[in-house]
Amino acid sequence: GRKVLIVYAHQEPKSLNGSLKSVAVEELSKQGCSVTVSDLYAMQFEPRATRNDIVGCLHNSEEFNYGVETWEAYKRGGLSSDLVEEQKKVQEADLLIFQFPLYWSSMPAIMKGWMDRVLVQGFAHEFPNCYDSGLLKGKLALFSFTTGGSREMYAKGGISGDIRYLLWPMQHGIMHFCGVKVLAPHICFAPEYVSEEKRKEMLIAWAQRLKTLWNEEPINCSPEWYFK
């Protein structure tokens, strides 16, 4: 069976994000997938990239360079145990689902910290091995998130700009950079401002999509998809 890692960032299990995560676990497990969840808040995941991420001596103790030090540590097996654990989950996964509420036009800090710390050079990318030749090629990613603003606000010409603009740094700058193919995002617009009935419909729509997810073609990973 296929392996799925859900990286989940919400403080409240009863939230819509919590329900979306649970629906994904249930539906994908029914399909025979092996599903792992990294519940970042529950794990009290450390979002800060610091010296503590390197076990043992530094490559250059005179001047600390996080990128260089984590790269060297990765090569010699000297990354902190929490990073090794997350990297193992990523390595084994066929599909990565990121489930979160949109915060200030991006992912929450705890999830960005996961990206900063887990996707180190040598593990996820190593120039010139990036984009189509990124080290995580052969994997799929899907960003599933909720917004505060309505669909109209995030339309082309809307006050918040096309939602696709916001996805460029997340989908293209991180996932595609690491070689991961990206499925179309799953967006629940303004759940706080709709009826309970509408929120239930959002969960049903997500469950329906998951039933045929493996038949989907990834988006065209080019600037045209985001900015045309």
Check which CATH number belongs to the domain holding 32 and give it.
Answer: 3.40.50.360
| Beta bridge partners of residue 145, listed in sequence order | 100, 187
Q: What is the reported pLDDT for 26? A: 98
**CA distances, 109 to each of 48, 113, 173, 183 (Å):** 9, 6, 16, 23
Per-residue pLDDT of the chain (228 residues; tens, 9 = 90+): 999 999 999 999 999 999 999 999 999 999 999 999 999 999 999 999 999 999 999 999 999 999 999 999 999 999 999 999 999 999 999 999 999 999 999 999 999 999 999 999 999 999 999 999 999 999 999 999 999 999 999 998 999 999 999 999 999 999 999 999 999 999 999 999 999 999 999 999 999 999 999 999 999 989 999 998
Q: What is the reported pLDDT for 150? A: 94
Cβ atoms 115, 124 nearer than 8 A: no
**CA distances, 86 to each of 5, 21, 198 (Å):** 10, 18, 35
Q: What is the reported pLDDT for 108? A: 98
Closest to 193 measured CA to CA, from 154, 146, 161: 146
Give the structural domain span for 39: 3-227
Q: Which helix (H) or strand (E) holds 181?
A: strand 181-182
Count of structural domains within the chain: 1
Q: What is the reported pLDDT for 60? A: 95
Closest to 123 measured CA to CA, from 150, 101, 90, 95: 90
Q: What is the reported pLDDT for 228? A: 83
Q: What is the reported pLDDT for 221? A: 86
Residue where the block lists tokens 């090569």: 75
Cβ atoms 176, 182 nearer than 8 A: yes
Per DSSP, the residues of 124-158 read TBBTTB-GGG-TTTT-EEEEEEE-SS-TTTTSTTS
